[in-house]
Amino acid sequence: MRKNIDTLELPKDEMREYGYKVVDAIVEHFSTQNDKFPVVVGSREEMDHLFLEEAPEKPTDPQEVLDFVLNKVISKSAIVSHPKSYSFVPGPSNYISAMADTLATGFNVFSGGWAASPAAAELEIVTMNWLLKIFGFPVKKGGGIFTSGGSMANLTAIATARRIKCGDDFAKAVIYLSDQAHSSNIKAIRVLGFKKEQIRIIPTDAEFKFSINKLKNAIAKDRLEGLQPFCLVATAGTTNTGTVDPLSSLAKICKTENIWFHIDGAYGGAAILAKDGKALLKGISKADSLTVDPHKWFFQPYEMGCLLVRNSKWLKSTFTEKPEYLRDIEGNESEINFYDHGIQLTRRFRALKFYMSIKTFGLKAFRTAISYNIELAEKVEGILRKSPHWEVISPATLAVINFRFNPIGENYSEKKLDKINQYISEQVVASQEALLVTTLLNGQVVLRMCLINPRTTINDVKETLAQCKTFTNITST
C-alpha cells in the first residue's frame, strides 16, 4: 500500500501517469467529439444501477477509478459542444480554456482577495477592462466580477441595483421586465425577497420586444400609486428568439425615471464582436449593469458568467462587509478584493481561462467565429424560406432561428402542426444524432436552433433538416 495515502497524496510518477491519461482522454474527446452522438439518455434507475454505493472506507486503485469514470460517467454526459447540439444555449468550449481551468484547479488559486493572489486579482481586472472596452463601458470608473454564470450575474446586478437605488428600504420598490426575460431574473428577484406585487412583467410586441408604450403606462401607474420604480431588466438576445430589446429607448426611459438599467446579455452580448451584432446591440453601452456569459458565446467551459457595471464603487458599497478575520488583508483602494465586489468569498480563478484563450487565439478569432455563427443562422433562414416544407417563425437573430414544418398546400390545423413538430423534435432527440428541442412562440410549437458553435457547418444543419423531414409522416390528427 502506498505510504502517503493518509495525507491524500500519490507518488510523483503515479501522479504524472494519471495526469497524462486525463489529458489524453480530453485531447481524444476534442478530436473525436464531432463523430459521437450529442444526446445521451439515462433514467434514474439506470444511473442508480451504475453508481449507487456506500462511501467506501477502503481505497481503490486510482487507474481503476479513472477508467470507470471515463467509461461510465463521461460517456453519460451530453456533448454540448457537438456541432449538432442546437438546443438551449450550447457550450462550444475550447481546449486552451479547459487546460487553464486545470491549471487554476491544480494550483488551487484563491481568487477572493488581493493578498492571496495579486496576479489572479490583476488578471480579473485586466480581462474585465477588455470587456468594459468591448462593450463601451467606462474603463476607468467601471468594473465588474466573474461569476459562476448568468444567473449569478443577474442576481448580483439586481442586488446592486436595489442597494444603490433603494438603500435598506425596498418596501415600495418595483422592478420591470418583459415576458421574454430569462427565468433566472425572476429567480433572482424571488431570492432577494421581493413580493409578487413588486414585479411587473411587461408584454412584448409582435417581434418579442419590450413594449415601450406598455412599460411607460406601468411606470406612470406605479408612480401615481406612490410606488418606487427602481430597476428595469432588458434583454440583449432573448433565449427564445435572440431578440434585442429597444435598448436606446429603454435607456432614455430609465434615465428620465431614475431607474437602474440592467441588460441581460448572457448569451447575446458576445455578438458585439461581430459587425452585424454590434449594430443590433446599439445602446448596450448605456446600461448601468450588463450580464454576459463567457461560458456561452465566448466559448469558455463552465462555469463562467460576468457582470459589468458602469461604476465599480456600486459593487463595493453593496457587497463589502468588514469581518474581523479579514482585517489584516484589506490592502489599499486600487488592490481589489473581489470578495468585496460580489457574493462569494472563496472564488476559483475564472479569469485565467478567459485571459489565456484570448491571448492564445487573439480577439480576431473570436470575432470571426461569432460573425460566422450569425451568418450561418442567416444562411439556414435562406434555406428554410426557399423550401415548400418549412416556415420561418422568427428570423435568424444573433444566431438563433425558429421554424416549423408547415408544408405549402396542406393547410394543416394548428393542432396538427404542433403535433407534427413536437414529434419531429422527439424523434430527432431519440435518434441521439442531434439535440433539437422545441419552444413555444405565440402558443405555437416551433423548432429552435441556437447556432453559436463555430464548428457547426451548413452541412450539419442540412443533414439535420433532412433528418427532420423523415419524421413528418405522422398520419393521425
Ligand X SMILES: *Cc1c(COP(=O)(O)O)cnc(C)c1O
Binding site for ligand X (CB under 6 A): 89, 149-151, 182, 184, 235, 239, 264, 266-267, 293, 305
101 versus 257: smaller Cβ distance to ligand X: 101
DSSP conformation letters of 237-273: S-TTT--B--HHHHHHHHHHHT-EEEEEETTGGGGGG
CB of 159 to ligand X, least distance (A): 15
CB of 46 to ligand X, least distance (A): 26
How far apart, in whole angstroms, are the C-alpha atoms of residue 306 and residue 300?
Answer: 12
What are the Cα distances from residue 411, in Å, to 71, 114, 281, 414, 415?
49, 65, 38, 9, 11
228 versus 394: smaller Cβ distance to ligand X: 394
200 versus 295: smaller Cβ distance to ligand X: 295
How far apart, in whole angstroms, are the C-alpha atoms of residue 19 and residue 462?
Answer: 39
CB of 81 to ligand X, least distance (A): 15
- Give the three-class secondary structure for 394: strand
264 versus 418: smaller Cβ distance to ligand X: 264
Collect all residues with Cβ–Cβ distance below 8 Å to 455 and sequence separation of at least 6: 34, 81, 83, 92
In degrees to the nearest 10, what's the CA dihedral of 146, 149, 153, 156?
-90
CB of 305 to ligand X, least distance (A): 5
CB of 237 to ligand X, least distance (A): 6
- In what side-by-side order are the strands of the sheet with 438-441? 390-397, 400-405, 444-450, 438-441
150 versus 395: smaller Cβ distance to ligand X: 150
How far apart, in whole angstroms, are the C-alpha atoms of residue 250 and residue 215?
Answer: 9
CB of 36 to ligand X, least distance (A): 24
Give the residue closest to ligand X by C-beta. 150
79 versus 234: smaller Cβ distance to ligand X: 234
406 versus 438: smaller Cβ distance to ligand X: 438
DSSP conformation letters of 182-227: -HHHHHHHHHTT--GGGEEEEPB-TTS-B-HHHHHHHHHHHHHTT-
CB of 299 to ligand X, least distance (A): 14
In the numeric block, the cell 463552465 is attached to 302
